[in-house]
Amino acid sequence: MLWTPRRALLALVLANLLWAGSYTAAKESMRVLSPVELNGLRFTIAGLILLPFLWRGRSGLHLSRADLPRLAVLCCCGFVLNKAAEFTGLNLTTASDTALLIASESMWTALLGRLILHEALERASMHPAWEADLISSAMG
């Protein structure tokens, strides 16, 4: 398929709609599932969809057996626990509040990196949406 600017824009709009709709879908799903069940279902479905791609590209992976425990811990912390906390929070508030908080995640990551890790914050790397993130965070 040839990627024209129009097709690329449509793909971005579709991806954004799917991402935005995921909070509403998750909130609706929690009428019948707990956050833990929803998280398990989400990763089971994603794993089954992505497994053929992983299998096909396995020769390009350069992992040793010693890498696997560290990879498992990183996946657990970076994905499973992250989404479990997100779904638990979603269960306690609205889908729109959750989406706004998650959208400000990059700003908080950079600020915490500066405060805790003493990483440099360069003006060029600061996203223009940070102002909106700061205002919406301050307004609660």
Kindly compute the dihedral angle of the four CA atoms of residues 17, 137, 133, 135, in this order, to the nearest 10 degrees. Answer: 130
Q: Please, are residues 39 and 80 in contact by the beta-carbon 8 Å criterion?
A: yes
Q: What is the pLDDT of residues 88-123, one digit of tens each?
A: 999 999 998 888 888 888 788 888 888 999 988 777
pTM score > 0.75 for this model? Answer: no
Cα(44)–Cα(87) distance, integer angstroms: 16
Cα(122)–Cα(129) distance, integer angstroms: 15
Secondary-structure percent of the chain, ordered helix, strand, coil, rounded to 5? 80, 0, 20
66 has a pLDDT exceeding 60: yes
What amino acid is encoded at 70 in this protein? R
Residue where the block lists tokens 């600020």: 111
Can you read off the two tokens belonging to residue 7? 């097709």
CB atoms within 10 A of CB 88: 15
What amino acid is encoded at 1 in this protein? M
129 has a pLDDT exceeding 60: no
Cα(109)–Cα(133) distance, integer angstroms: 12
